[in-house]
Amino acid sequence: MTAPTSPADAAPSNFIRNLIDEDRRLGKWGGRVETRFPPEPNGYLHYGHAKSICLNFGLAQIYGGACHLRFDDTNPTKEEQEYVDGIIEAVQWLGFDWQEHLYFASDYFDKMYAMAEHLIMVGKAYVDSLNAEEMRAYRGTLSAPGKDSPYRNRSVTENLELFQRMKAGEFPDGTHILRAKIDMASPNINLRDPAIYRIRHATHHRSGDKWCVYPMYTFAHPIEDALEDITHSICTLEFEDQRPFYDWLLDNLAEGGFFSRPVPRQIEFARLNLTYVVLSKRKLIQLVDDKHVAGWDDPRLPTLVGARRRGFTAEGFKRFAERIGVSKADSWIDMSVLEDCMREDLNEAAERRVAVLDPLKLIITNYPANETERCHAPNHPLHPELGKREMPFGRELWIEREDFMETPVKGYHRLYPGNMARLRYGYVVKCTGCEKDADGNITAVLCEYLPDSKSGTPGADNYKVKGNLHWVSVEFAYTAEVRLYDRLFAHAYPGARREGDPEGFERDFTSDINPNSLQVITAQLEPALRAARPEARFQFERHGYFVADRVDSRDGAPVFNRTVTLRDTWKK
């Protein structure tokens, strides 16, 4: 696996489009392009699924075709309607529409069962009664061929009767299994009589208790593709070794008259490998179950529901998918590529607001105590058509604590006794000192303002100062909870024994959790932010991009989550 990709060398690959172009040139499927996104409804979608969604729906759009949303719900013990609903919402949030093409594997169970019976009748499938441990022993290894099961030569009549009795619920789980009859000596282990149906006495989230036998994913998936007239079945690289069975199954069923030719074509691409995250479903479940995060929608978790709550954008994910492209070779993409895509989108889309995250009071001693005036700030410097907003200005303001130093270091240009700085959108002020509490902690900065220096007036040009400070009126500020989210893991390859060795998972990956991945603070925000609606996104000037939390925000009391900082703070 190659090293992480940087934005500069992330040229997108088009090998799938090249294959589709050649199929169209040859007239296959009449030039039609039909793809599908086929999640199993046993969990929430993650960043890797976003790449697949953008790829499959994107290809359909490019070629004027259709992309199906299909749920591979073949395992009733792990699937729930909650996940179906969450997946539908995530795909819609990314901006894609499957129109009338919403399907479930369970819609085809009757047809799949009939196809399994056909394979039995033509001698291409049999009921095996080995237990799981015996099946493993008979299967062989990568270097040694497998052995025929003693049940492999059952008659068609006996196999058919046993399979029908399995369907009728006469046997407990694990007693029998239906296997394809291919070649136990095949160098491809996936062709050594793979299982195609198993007994499961479990209630299905859609079909209820109608079935107690269920197709294996590798059997169901090709059939679903063919039944839906999919042309290009695009999947991740781990299914490459399964492609011979995919082709074997559809070829035999087409021979039996179930499908017309050409049958769908499977194409594999490398899955998303992203630094500083884990995308394994098992590990994501562990993070949630062990309370390392606050749930599946925790903004630090690489789920799409978490990304949405963090303020990541659908356009940012599309930009990311386009930038990294698709390839046949596994490689690592650095998290900074995804974060940069979000920054680029938010820089264009997010209006600007002022927030003071570590507030320190500034008192303008020569400003009238009971007076308030309005300053004006642009809503977006790149889009003047969005106009300006008013910011109330008065005697007492909040500034960032780091904007004052009683004893300045070399090169410090903000406030210190005797120095002048501009209050952005407001006046130039000169620092005259500070106030402290009994323990010597600074509680307020004192200054005087220059009345003829207001921004936007002719006098503003008379003063050349280096410091430019953000501020919020103490009287009108909105005091809000702000959550500073960062990367969940402090190590690029969580669990790897050393950096740059992603294959060596020796440590507990949770030991690499970043202890500073979340800081909850109380900040002082400009009053306009009080009216922010859930999922409204802003650039907090100087600090980064933030979103009003879609879960915890209330009318007149939004809570803000940091989406991403203004620039990459993880560069070494």
Contact indicator for 116, 125 with CB cutoff of 8 Å: yes
Contact indicator for 195, 226 with CB cutoff of 8 Å: no
Neighbours of 184 (CB within 10 A): 18
pLDDT at residue 19, as a whole number: 95
By CB neighbour count within 10 A (0-12 exposed, 13-18 middle, 19+ buried), where does 172 fall?
Answer: exposed
pLDDT at residue 4, as a whole number: 55
pLDDT at residue 461, as a whole number: 87
| DSSP character at residue 297 | T
Query: Residue ranges for the binding site for L-glutamine?
Result: 72, 217
pLDDT at residue 1, as a whole number: 58
Question: What Rg do the C-alpha atoms of the chain give, in angstroms?
Answer: 31
pLDDT at residue 499, as a whole number: 54
E strand or H helix that includes residue 251: helix 243-255
- Taken in order 417, 524, 469, 563, the sign of the CA dihedral is positive
Active-site residues, by number, are: 40, 271, 281
pLDDT at residue 569, as a whole number: 87
By CB neighbour count within 10 A (0-12 exposed, 13-18 middle, 19+ buried), where does 208 fall?
Answer: exposed
Contact indicator for 73, 117 with CB cutoff of 8 Å: no
d(CA 434, CA 416): 9
Which residues fall within 8 angstroms of residue 434, CB to CB, at 6 or more apart? 404, 406, 417, 442, 443, 444, 445, 446
Q: Among 90, 97, 5, which Cα is nearest to 49's?
A: 90
Query: Residue ranges for the binding site?
Result: 40-42, 72, 217, 236, 271-272, 279-281
Which ranges constitute the DSSP H helices of 94-206? 109-121, 132-139, 156-167
CA dihedral 58, 61, 62, 67 (to 10 degrees): 70
pLDDT at residue 187, as a whole number: 96
Contact indicator for 542, 513 with CB cutoff of 8 Å: no
pLDDT at residue 498, as a whole number: 56
- Taken in order 218, 73, 254, 240, the sign of the CA dihedral is negative
What's at 518, amino acid-wise?
A: L
Q: Among 466, 433, 460, which Cα is nearest to 448's?
A: 433
pLDDT at residue 14, as a whole number: 79
Domains of the chain, CATH where assigned: 16-269 (3.40.50.620), 281-351+481-496+510-565 (2.40.240.10), 355-469 (2.40.240.10)
pLDDT at residue 196, as a whole number: 98
Contact indicator for 335, 352 with CB cutoff of 8 Å: no
- Crossing angle, helix 217-227 and helix 243-255, to 10 degrees? 50
Neighbours of 206 (CB within 10 A): 17
Classified as helix, coil or strand, 429 is: strand
pLDDT at residue 10, as a whole number: 38
Token pair belonging to 146: 């497998």
By CB neighbour count within 10 A (0-12 exposed, 13-18 middle, 19+ buried), where does 556 fall?
Answer: exposed
d(CA 197, CA 127): 9
pLDDT at residue 35, as a whole number: 98
Tens of pLDDT along the chain (572 residues)?
A: 555 544 444 344 579 999 999 999 999 999 999 999 999 999 999 999 999 999 999 999 999 999 999 999 999 999 999 999 999 999 999 999 999 999 999 999 999 999 999 999 999 999 999 999 999 999 999 999 999 999 999 999 999 999 999 999 999 999 999 999 999 999 999 999 999 999 999 999 999 999 999 999 999 999 999 999 999 999 999 999 999 999 999 999 999 999 999 999 999 999 999 999 999 999 999 999 999 999 999 999 999 999 999 999 999 999 999 999 999 988 899 999 999 999 999 999 999 999 999 999 999 999 999 899 999 999 999 999 999 999 999 999 999 999 999 999 999 999 999 999 999 999 999 999 999 999 999 999 999 999 999 998 988 888 999 999 999 999 999 999 999 999 999 999 998 865 555 555 567 999 999 999 999 999 999 999 999 999 999 999 999 999 999 999 999 999 999 999 999 988 76
Query: Residue ranges for the binding site for ATP?
Result: 40-42, 236, 271-272, 279-281
